[in-house]
């Protein structure tokens, strides 16, 4: 069962399971930690705030090939006066992860360590306002999307200086660029 802890593996194979989802987003103003239940939940020394049915996550595709997939995280029921906070926060490129866990039915404590189902970075945010409340949807791209980005590097002195200040290995590249070299004489 992938890399589940022993406690989590026992929980998912038990006859009765109380599944939960935990979502964590790290912003400049501080982390946002939400879970799919009600009230506050403590795990790993951190406090996770319950959203109940207000938090939703789109289906997460799993493929055989190494390919970037995305997901959409939505939080509904946001008071309209709080939308400004979401608009002011720089969100693009911020890390987000989604964890799957299980609660002990009797004590309400998390069993084992939750399994990270999805990890990625915030991409595009869409806000839908309707009366007194709003819905915020954030598209999250997989970390593998970085493999599809083009790398803009050049074999020239200035580019070399950004990575290795003081290195003179590419100092004469512009001088030899238009040189005519005759081989075999």
Minimal CA–CA distance to 26: which of 102, 146, 140? 140
37-76 per-position pLDDT tens digit: 888 988 888 999 888 877 778 777 666 666 667 888 888 8
Mark whether 144 and 167 lie in a shared domain.
no
More confident call, 15 vs 94: 94
* Residue 1 confidence class, pLDDT cut points 50, 70, 90: very low
CB–CB of 83/134 below 8 Å? Answer: yes
Mark whether 171 and 121 lie in a shared domain.
no
Q: Which residue bears the tokens 């590249």?
A: 173
Mark whether 79 and 91 lie in a shared domain.
yes
pLDDT at position 87 is 82
How far apart (Å, rounded) are the C-alpha atoms in residues 67 and 31?
A: 28
Mark whether 135 and 155 lie in a shared domain.
no
Mark whether 130 and 176 lie in a shared domain.
no
How far apart (Å, rounded) are the C-alpha atoms in residues 163 and 161?
A: 5
* Residue 185 confidence class, pLDDT cut points 50, 70, 90: low
Mark whether 12 and 32 lie in a shared domain.
yes
CB–CB of 48/20 below 8 Å? Answer: no
How far apart (Å, rounded) are the C-alpha atoms in residues 137 and 72?
A: 7
Mark whether 128 and 158 lie in a shared domain.
no
Phi, psi for 110 (deg, rounded to 5): -75, 135
pLDDT reading at 166 higher than 60: yes
Q: Is residue 136 part of a domain?
A: yes
- For the chain, percent of residues with pLDDT exceeding 90: 2
Looking at the structure of the chain, the number of domains it has is: 2
How far apart (Å, rounded) are the C-alpha atoms in residues 120 and 143?
A: 5
Mark whether 65 and 134 lie in a shared domain.
yes
CB atoms under 10 Å from CB of 183, counted, come to 4
Q: Is residue 1 part of a domain?
A: no
Q: Is residue 64 part of a domain?
A: yes
Mark whether 32 and 107 lie in a shared domain.
yes
Domain that holds residue 74: 6-148
pTM of the full predicted structure? Answer: 0.68
Q: Is residue 182 part of a domain?
A: yes
Secondary structure E strands in 28-162: 30-35, 40-43, 46-50, 55-57, 70-79, 95-103, 115-130, 133-142
User: In the numeric block, which tokens belong to residue 144?
Assistant: 């593998």
Mark whether 97 and 175 lie in a shared domain.
no
How far apart (Å, rounded) are the C-alpha atoms in residues 120 and 71?
A: 9
């Amino acid at each position: 069962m992938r890399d589940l802890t022993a406690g989590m593996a026992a929980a998912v194979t038990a006859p009765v399971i109380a599944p939960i989802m935990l979502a964590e987003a790290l912003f400049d103003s501080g982390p946002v930690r939400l879970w799919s239940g009600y009230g506050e939940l403590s795990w790993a020394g951190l406090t996770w705030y319950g959203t109940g049915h207000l938090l939703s996550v789109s289906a997460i595709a799993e493929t055989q090939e190494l390919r970037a997939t995305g997901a959409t995280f939505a939080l509904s029921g946001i008071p309209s006066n709080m939308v400004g906070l979401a608009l002011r926060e720089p969100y693009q490129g911020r890390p987000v992860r989604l964890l799957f866990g299980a609660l002990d039915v009797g004590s309400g404590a998390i069993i084992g360590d939750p399994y990270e189902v999805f990890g990625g970075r915030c991409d595009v945010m869409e806000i839908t306002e309707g009366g007194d409340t709003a819905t915020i949807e954030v598209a999250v791209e997989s970390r593998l999307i970085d493999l599809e980005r083009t790398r803009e590097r050049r074999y020239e002195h200035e580019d070399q200086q950004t990575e290795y200040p003081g290195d003179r290995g590419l100092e004469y590249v512009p001088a030899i660029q238009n040189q005519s070299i005759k081989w075999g004489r």
